[in-house]
Amino acid sequence: MSDSNWITLYAIDLIFEDSWLIGGLSTLSDKIDIPFVQNPRNKEPVLPGPSIAGSLRATAMKVLSNDATEAAEYTEELFGYVTSGVESDGKKKKTMTAASAVEILGAKLADTKELPETLERRRTAINGKTGAALNRMLRNEEIVGRASYRIIVQVQGRASDDHKSYVSQFDEVLKNWHPQLGRGRSVGLGRGKIKNVERVSVNLDSDKGLQWWLFEKQCLFGGHAKNIANNSGSNIEYAKLEPQENTAANLISVQFELKEPVHIGFEKPESGPILIYRQFGHPTIPATSWKGVFRHRVETIVTLVEGPDLANDVANVMFGSSDTGRGLLRFRNSGFTDANGKAISKKDLRFREHVAIDRFSGGAKDTAKFTWECVPPGFLTKLDIDFPDKEKYTECNNLIKHVIRDLHEGIIGIGAGISRGYGRLSAEDKKNHYILPRKVDVEKLKMEVNQISEKGK
């Protein structure tokens, strides 16, 4: 380790690949129940330091060691800890703390001239047994569109120190960091990507290093680090790091062709047609719709091969619950394209008229005519599910294949009106291995559920 007073700064360029939400506080008079955190002076969406630190800490637990106990020790050394201790009399408690060697100095919106788009939307919670919406759980939330941030992090130590230094450990964490930040991470929100990383180590005991620290470090914050590279030497060490790409092995991806129209429900207007759900102006199958279909079908399959108890346990570990926390799977939103990959436009959409039937007479019910906006057959949509542990939990992965096969064969569908000629899909690639599941191995599935449950304790 270096005897001098060295500090290392990181400038991390993060891009949100889809919408995201880090919830703030609302008042009783607010229309939005869950607004995004914003700067009150200029209304910019804020990316808080604690959210970044928590995500980095979770990554450190996975990558600093293969041994869980050792990984926890390294993580505490790097990010600090707070624990409760007990005095020798067994009664008086004291708090044990250790400062973090990593400091999140802030995150700045890359483009301040044009703020990201925002969208108000409604969400509710679902009763797992009945499939109906829970009472008093409807809420309005405000999500933020794609945005880029420059995150500044300070770490104690020097880049060229040995492999056990704070800087080398943080390099390892950063290399394996695939950001998932904020609320709704299992339903398409908060997925980020590291685009660029610059690292500068400075010797504050040297005149040159101290001068740079006092008068020139702002150029790193603002994304103008060209002069740093030119002036680097024995007291200033500059490097650009290559972030590790999120491998395709973690992604389940199947492209479907619409065999029937698709309508995703939205707010019902007082008059006029019922429009299809949109995000930022684009017709979308939200990740919540995919997750609901997959959860219900997995529960059905496991109930048939074993029983409801195992079905409930499997659903909780794969899709999450209020008791067990987040599940293994993270679904993404899906748009619509034509055969050439061009996004669907408003003129491509169609309107279909319906009428409710009087169950007593069998005739059309008075004043019950309605119109749905829908995506017509022939267009494409892609299902994307992030499953980082799919090679480890092969039986859970096999259940996903069963659901995708059922979608492909038209046994289940997506969106509203499944019983009236809507929502049937077919996999474009008939040889995709995700429509070729094997028989469910109940005993192996039980072992995986127990393993996941123990890991989460």
CATH number of the domain where residue 357 is located: 3.30.70.1900
Residue 174: predicted pLDDT? 92
What percent of the chain is modeled with pLDDT above 70?
Answer: 88
* 150 within a domain of the structure (yes/no): yes
Residue 22's CATH number: 3.30.70
Q: What is the mean pLDDT of the chain?
A: 85
Considering the domain architecture, whether residues 449 and 386 belong to the same structural domain is answered as yes
Model confidence pLDDT, tens digit, residues 141-157: 888 899 999 999 999 99
Considering the domain architecture, whether residues 109 and 202 belong to the same structural domain is answered as yes
Considering the domain architecture, whether residues 18 and 143 belong to the same structural domain is answered as yes
SS3 at position 80 = coil
Considering the domain architecture, whether residues 265 and 191 belong to the same structural domain is answered as no
Lowest mean pLDDT among 311-325, 333-347, 396-410: 311-325
Residue 103: predicted pLDDT? 94
CA distance 219 to 103: 19
Q: What are phi and psi of 8, to 5 degrees?
A: -115, 130
Structure tokens at 328: 């293994």
CA distance 35 to 421: 37
Residue 224: predicted pLDDT? 67
137: Cα separation from own chain's centroid: 22
Give how many domains the chain has, as a whole number.
Answer: 2
Catalogue the long-range contacts made by 240-245 (C-beta closer than 8 Å, 24 or more residues apart): 240/196, 240/197, 240/198, 240/199, 241/171, 241/174, 241/175, 241/197, 241/198, 241/199, 242/197, 243/174, 243/175, 243/177, 243/194, 243/195, 243/196, 243/197, 244/175, 244/176
SS3 at position 190 = coil
Domain boundary among 241, 274, 289: 241
* 1 within a domain of the structure (yes/no): no
**Residue 135 — pLDDT band, cuts 50, 70, 90?**
low
Domain boundary among 204, 224, 241: 241
Considering the domain architecture, whether residues 278 and 410 belong to the same structural domain is answered as yes
CA distance 213 to 200: 10
- Over residues 199-211, mean pLDDT: 90
* 133 within a domain of the structure (yes/no): yes
* 91 within a domain of the structure (yes/no): no
- End-to-end CA gap in the chain: 37
Within 8 A by CB and 6+ apart from 439, the residues are none
Considering the domain architecture, whether residues 177 and 286 belong to the same structural domain is answered as no
* 126 has a pLDDT exceeding 70: no
Are the CB atoms for 291 and 330 separated by under 8 Å? no
Q: Which residues pair with 380 in a beta bridge?
A: 257, 337
Residue 343: predicted pLDDT? 92
Residue 391: predicted pLDDT? 85
- Over residues 348-376, mean pLDDT: 83
- Over residues 284-307, mean pLDDT: 94
* 34 has a pLDDT exceeding 90: no
For residue 443, what are the domain limits?
249-456
Q: Which residue has the tokens 């038209």?
A: 410
Considering the domain architecture, whether residues 129 and 262 belong to the same structural domain is answered as no
Task: Indicate the pTM of the whole model.
Answer: 0.82
Domain boundary among 241, 276, 308: 241
Residue 276 Rama label (left phi>0; alpha psi -120 to 50; beta): beta
Q: Other CB atoms closer than 10 Å to residue 430's CB: what's the count?
A: 9
Identify the DSSP state of 439: -
235: Cα separation from own chain's centroid: 40
* 324 has a pLDDT exceeding 80: no
SS3 at position 34 = strand
CA distance 63 to 256: 35
- Over residues 207-213, mean pLDDT: 88
Q: What are phi and psi of 130, to 5 degrees?
A: -95, -20
CA distance 267 to 281: 15
Residue 41: predicted pLDDT? 86
What percent of the chain is modeled with pLDDT above 90?
Answer: 46
* 21 within a domain of the structure (yes/no): yes
Lowest mean pLDDT among 27-41, 142-156, 270-284, 305-319: 27-41
* 91 has a pLDDT exceeding 70: no
